[in-house]
Amino acid sequence: MTKVLLVDDEPILLDLERQILEKKFGFSTEMVESGEEALKILATTHFDAIISDYSMPVMDGLTLLRKIREHDKQIPFVLFTVKEREEVAIKALNSGANFYVQKEDSPHVAFTELAHKVTAAVELVRAEKDLRIQHDLAIACANTKRLDQVLSLSLSAAMESSCFDAGAIYQVDERNHITLITQNGFSPGYSDHVIQAHLIPLFFPLIHGNEHTFRDHQAVHLYSKILITEEEIKSDAIIRIRQHERTLGLIHLASHTDEQALGSSLQSSLQGIIIQIAGHISDRLAEDALGESERKIKTILSNLPGMVYKCAYNEERSMEFVSEGSEALTGYTPEELVVNQDPTYSSLIHPDDKIRMMEVIQRAVSRHVQFKLTYRIITRHMKFRWVSEQGAGVYNNEGEVIGLEGFVTDITRQKVLDDKVRISQTRLNMLFTNMNAGCAIFHEVEGKNKFVLIDMNNAAEIIEGKKKEELAGKSIEEFFPAPSTEILTTAFLDLIEDGKPRTLTRVPCDTPDGRRWRELYLSRSLLGHTLEIFIIYTDVTDQVRDEEQIIASLHEKELLLKEIHHRVKNNLQIISGILKLQGMRTVDPVTTEILQDCRNQVFTMASIHELLYSSHDISRIRVKEYVENLINHLKQEYISTNAQIQYIIDVDPDIVLDIERCIPCGLILNELITNAVKYAFEPEGEGEIRIIFSHLANTYQMVVADNGRGMPADTGIKESSSLGTELVTRLTHQLRGDISIISGEGTTITVRFHDEPGEKLLI
């Protein structure tokens, strides 16, 4: 609705003018009776046009026009008067009036012309204003690349075109999410959740269909009372920003000062601005998307472990585009390969690979399929590199190839690793095929704990007497017959459970050739979620049988040795008995003593043979048991001795000796204990003899100590010439040890020798 200010000093004519313009032509009018009043209301209220009488007291129409033009060059001004003077019309037009209308006798004709002139002037001013706004917006948007700035400029243009004093722009994404981007003229609270939670649901109908919504004060009060209470707006408009069937955003315009009534012409003008805004937003979104796409492509190309290229389809493969990865790959920058073409990419290819490579490319291009190549290049630093190239032809509308596009990556390390893997695989295959032990591989099928044979080597075929093809697909139970089945099943379950390899020895298997024995090594490997069982095995039947023969032979020899020890012991006991009989027939106490000593020495040796005969180990003797037997024997021999002697035995129970060292030790103990019994104590006295046998630091230590009278001060082991002393000395020398004597309140004799047979004790 066009809002017009009427200025006339005749109240009756002024009221008639108002009624005709409002009722017949639909204008909105306000009336004043003087130029002074007109200037005052223009300072606070916006009007689309001014209609003024010429002849008025104090300030005529021309004067009013000149004063208005000092502040507003655009507002339409129509001079409406009954005077028919040509000079008045000329002055009015020269002073900036848009039209000059004379009052006629017929009101119908005069007011019709007046309404037409006002409408034409208003539309002309609006058109000029819209053109200026659109021109300024286009220049401003062309000078900025940022979407937020484009939206801010667009909002200002929409507010200026519509004469609303507040506005906001919302952006709508592809999922129809509505986001407030910028606002102008509203209070800070407009952006808060409370108002936005009310507005955004109102916007959804516009996204899905309606182009715009214009609301007067009554509609705003009815449906959006919060905007009146919080923002004090009088009217508003919500307009969709749309481009190519896609909603880009929304503009919310509002007026705080008065109720805006948007007529069809103003709506059309505003829609023109909105279309331009949609174009600018769409352009910026497209530019942003293109920039983001280019950035992503650049990031991808710069981080690819290789070189992306586009080249001509010729022998030199002249490069038209090369990514930055070319320098890391070839040593040459993209500028050197593309701009200078020094060198050409074709010159980097190894001569031995060039012909084959071109043939593959030509064949792929002719069939319109991709090609994939592996070849060598020579880098700037004269190093060979293996590369992999994958690409395709570029064709024109006629299907003719005009170039190549593809990707080249360095596979030197992969090539070296592949060669190593191939060599390792070859070695493993040779080892698997040619190893002497049989090897069978079982693969898990049909769920857990079900395995079948998938491969076996030549040695396994020889052991089984069948070819791999005959046994493939057989289960473990079928491959290894009873009675090994139960043993293997248990071992497999344990292997699957804990994954620890294990060895099974002497597993019996019944074959057509009779019972055979096998030794098996089991391990597992996990391939993805599938288990494989590896079994390395050998036929140990001959070994088992040989061992059985050896064991039988050893058993026979062991029985023979025990029999020998038994007979030696019996013979020695016979000798001991003869010596005892001779002693009983002898009255000479010296001779009797000598015979008794000989009997003790014979018993010492016979006791060893008796222990060996009754022992499971016929080569080693437990020293503690032997010493205890010897002491018990000596107690019985010297039971008639007047002295009361207590024997204390402290022998390490873990010490064992062979017969070669046990006999000398027994004879030494016999001599030392006998001497202590005979000479260490007073008649009718009491005494203690301590026997110690220990092992420490690679040395055996044998101690015989008494708490008797002790040896004379001038008597030593080396100075003594008695037979017993000489025997002890010789036996110690036989052990490659040493002997020491400590005499005082009692006597302590210590014999030490090395724990390794034949090793001399280092003193």
Question: What are the structural domain ranges in the chain?
Answer: 3-129, 150-291, 304-416, 435-539, 540-618, 627-763
Q: Which of 29-33, 405-409, 723-727 has the lowest mean pLDDT?
A: 723-727
Residue owning tokens 């290819």: 349
Give the three-class secondary structure for 751: strand
Reported as a single tens digit per residue, the pLDDT across 328-348 is 899 999 999 988 778 889 999
Q: Which pLDDT score is estimated for 105?
A: 54
Task: Write out the two tokens for 151.
Answer: 């939206």
Name which of 65, 71, 13 is nearest 44 in CA terms.
71
- Judge: domain 3-129, CATH 3.40.50.2300: yes
> In the predicted model, is pLDDT for residue 748 greater than 80?
yes
Q: Which pLDDT score is estimated for 120?
A: 85
Residues forming beta bridges with residue 168, ordered by sequence position: 183, 252
Number of Cβ within 10 Å of residue 747's Cβ equals: 22
Contacts of 622 by beta carbon, 8 Å cutoff, 6+ apart: 611, 615, 653, 655, 656
Residues forming beta bridges with residue 658, ordered by sequence position: 620
Distance between CA 535 and CA 541 in Å, rounded? Answer: 18
Distance between CA 23 and CA 26 in Å, rounded? Answer: 6
> In the predicted model, is pLDDT for residue 677 greater than 70?
yes
| DSSP state string for 219-238 | HHHHH-HHHHHHH--SEEEE
Distance between CA 237 and CA 365 in Å, rounded? Answer: 61
> In the predicted model, is pLDDT for residue 223 greater than 90?
no
Contacts of 687 by beta carbon, 8 Å cutoff, 6+ apart: 643, 644, 645, 646, 680, 681, 706, 707, 708
Reported as a single tens digit per residue, the pLDDT across 409-451 is 999 988 888 888 888 888 888 888 888 888 988 888 866 667 8
- Domain range 150-291, CATH class: alpha beta
> In the predicted model, is pLDDT for residue 395 greater than 90?
yes
Is the distance from CB of 230 to CB of 158 less than 8 angstroms? no
Residue 215 binned pLDDT confidence (cut-offs 50, 70, 90): confident
pTM to 2 decimal places: 0.42
Residue 701 binned pLDDT confidence (cut-offs 50, 70, 90): very high
More confident residue, 745 or 572: 745
> In the predicted model, is pLDDT for residue 59 greater than 70?
yes
Q: Which pLDDT score is estimated for 463?
A: 83
Asked if domains 150-291 and 627-763 share a fold, the reply is: no
> In the predicted model, is pLDDT for residue 88 greater than 60?
yes
More confident residue, 489 or 66: 66
Reported as a single tens digit per residue, the pLDDT across 288-306 is 778 777 787 777 777 778 8
> In the predicted model, is pLDDT for residue 245 greater than 80?
no
Answer CATH for 435-539 from 1.20.1250.20, 3.40.50.720, 3.40.50.620, 3.30.450.20: 3.30.450.20
- Domain range 304-416, CATH class: alpha beta
Residue 273 binned pLDDT confidence (cut-offs 50, 70, 90): confident
Residue 267 binned pLDDT confidence (cut-offs 50, 70, 90): low
DSSP code of 200? H
Distance between CA 154 and CA 139 in Å, rounded? Answer: 12
> In the predicted model, is pLDDT for residue 721 greater than 50?
no
Task: State the distance between the two ends of the chain, measured CA to CA, in whole angstroms.
Answer: 132
Distance between CA 322 and CA 333 in Å, rounded? Answer: 9
- Judge: domain 627-763, CATH 3.30.565.10: yes
Task: Choose from 44-58, 350-364, 530-544, 706-720 the range with maximum mean pLDDT.
Answer: 350-364
- What percent of the chain is modeled with pLDDT above 90? 14
Name which of 693, 697, 638, 698 is nearest 666 in CA terms.
693
**Mean of all residue pLDDT scores within the chain:** 82
Q: What percent of the residues of the chain are helix, what percent strand, and what percent coil, each to the nearest 5? A: 50, 25, 25
Task: Write out the two tokens for 191.
Answer: 């952006």
